[in-house]
Amino acid sequence: MEFDIKKYKDTKKSNTGKHFFITTYGCQMNEEDSEKLSGMLKRIGYTKTESIEDASIVLFNTCCVRENAENKVFGNLGMMKKYKRKNPDLIIGICGCMMQQEGMADKVLKTFPYVDIIFGTHNSYKFPEYLNRVKTEGVQVKEILNKETEIIEGIPIDRENSTKAFVTIMYGCNNFCTYCIVPYVRGRERSRKSEEIIKEIKELVSKGYKEITLLGQNVNSYGKGLEETIDFAKLLRLINEIDGLERVRFMTSHPKDLNEDVISAIKECDKLCEQIHLPVQSGSNRILKEMNRHYDRERYMYLINKIKEEIPNATITTDIIVGFPGETEEDFNDTLSLVKEVGYNAAYTFIYSRRNHTPADRMENQVPDDVKHERFNKLVQAVNEGVIRSNKEYEGKIVEILVEGPSKNDETKLMGRTRNGKLVNFAGDKSLIGQLINLKIVRAQPFSLVGELL
């Protein structure tokens, strides 16, 4: 179904001086959803502001994957009371994964009755309609759909970056890992038609974008359920044909679904970057089974060795959870030994966080907090040793980077990434932003590289 913004068209004139402020929690999927919310608001005449003080609409796009993200949302909603008191016309909205949880929307309304709009992940395209209702009827709007809708194409997107963009290729997840709430709040897997994806990427290229990252909870199962005969490897090869596009990345892969065809596509297609994010979660077969991951350590290491053999310069990154219910010292040591065996270039490490309604939350053998923290520290140390070692290998090498913008830590410098995702800071003129350039790596730092223009 095509999104029709004309249905919600507000006049720019009536919105003069109207600003919106969005805070986004969680993953890239949420970031992309916020870019769409922002795109719709801009299309009906609003302007983005970085200051809550200036905003006439404040929107919280929430995440429920970890408990601390939820706590932050509650804290921020509490803080909004004073803004609403100062400006009763202020419209406060809350949306995203957290709102899809059973009973959460009612809890929010009860605790923070000054919230005006609540909606979930399946109906965010209706935000302009909800906004109109609040403005014209003066009502509070709460609409949470329990089931995913068909994919809505054509929603305007206000992208943060002008060099690289995220493009969602599929929504939802069918995997039901026992610790994860995503399938409950994002629904079942639905793939976008390849022609829609290609069309979006071509439009981005025509606007000067050089790099795209394909997004999905499980990109390797792309294509299932579509009328066309296509899988992820075929989609990658089609995207590689797009003229003017320089780099393609994707996330997230699932070790049960990543296959040799995808590895071959990365090896053979010049635009596919040599970077694979392959979440392992645990090195213990017993825990992987409890997590319902549908692969074992042997299958995972087979894939890692295949990637290393076929694409020797590929960087491999991962996600790891410590302290899953029932994790013993022996299980944890299996994770540590796997980390050392793979030698990751980066790892997102998490302490297991109980999530309501998930099977792991109901498991009785929860690991005590102090044990989880102790294991987490050991894991971070093991990961970091590997990262530092791999960064050192870049010293003296010439690398190609796409210049993304000012460095995060030092605004006088610029930053960019190598094809395989290494972050490089260097001194250079801002006119280089958006360009592919070669740099010499002069120093490796623990989490980044320092380069020099040639």
Q: Is 64 annotated as a binding residue?
A: no
End-to-end CA distance of the chain: 50
Cα of 296 vs its chain's centroid, Å: 25
Contact status: 182 vs ligand SF4 (CB under 6 A): yes
Smallest gap from residue 24 Cβ to ligand SF4 (A): 18
**Closest listed residue to residue 65, CA positions, set 286, 238, 319:** 319
**What gap in Å lies between CA 407 and CA 409, rounded to an integer?**
6
* Phi, psi dihedrals of residue 207, rounded to the nearest 5°: -90, 0
Contact status: 176 vs ligand SF4 (CB under 6 A): yes
Smallest gap from residue 319 Cβ to ligand SF4 (A): 8
How many Cβ atoms are within 10 Å of 62's Cβ, its own excluded?
Answer: 29
Smallest gap from residue 214 Cβ to ligand SF4 (A): 15
Q: What angle do CA 363, 351, 160 make, to 5 degrees?
A: 120
- Tell me how many residues contact ligand SF4 (CB under 6 A): 10
User: Which of 177, 248, 339, 401 is in the footprint of ligand SF4 by CB under 6 A?
Assistant: 177
Q: Is 180 annotated as a binding residue?
A: yes
**What gap in Å lies between CA 84 and CA 91, rounded to an integer?**
8
**What gap in Å lies between CA 194 and CA 47, rounded to an integer?**
32
**What gap in Å lies between CA 51 and CA 19, rounded to an integer?**
9
The DSSP bridge partners found for residue 360 are none
How many Cβ atoms are within 10 Å of 390's Cβ, its own excluded?
Answer: 17
| Residues 432-451 close enough to bind ligand SF4 by CB under 6 A | none
Q: Is 273 annotated as a binding residue?
A: no
Looking at the Cβ atoms of 112 and 171, the one nearer to ligand SF4 is: 171
Contact status: 180 vs ligand SF4 (CB under 6 A): yes
User: Which of 183, 326, 359, 405 is in the footprint of ligand SF4 by CB under 6 A?
Assistant: 183
Contact status: 217 vs ligand SF4 (CB under 6 A): yes
| Residues 250-279 close enough to bind ligand SF4 by CB under 6 A | 254
Contact status: 221 vs ligand SF4 (CB under 6 A): no
**Closest listed residue to residue 242, CA positions, set 170, 194, 193, 313:** 194
Contact status: 175 vs ligand SF4 (CB under 6 A): yes
Looking at the Cβ atoms of 184 and 394, the one nearer to ligand SF4 is: 184
Contact status: 218 vs ligand SF4 (CB under 6 A): yes
Smallest gap from residue 182 Cβ to ligand SF4 (A): 4
Contact status: 336 vs ligand SF4 (CB under 6 A): no
User: Which of 77, 173, 339, 444 is in the footprint of ligand SF4 by CB under 6 A?
Assistant: 173
**What gap in Å lies between CA 154 and CA 151, rounded to an integer?**
10
Contacts of residue 105, defined as CB under 8 A and 6 or more positions apart, other chains included, come to: 99, 118, 120, 142, 144
Q: Is 177 annotated as a binding residue?
A: yes
**Closest listed residue to residue 230, CA positions, set 241, 216, 219, 245:** 219
Instruction: Please state the residue numbers annotated as binding site.
Output: 27, 63, 97, 173, 177, 180
Instruction: Please state the residue numbers annotated as binding site for [4Fe-4S] cluster.
Output: 27, 63, 97, 173, 177, 180
Binding site for ligand SF4 (CB under 6 A): 173, 175-177, 180, 182-183, 217-218, 254
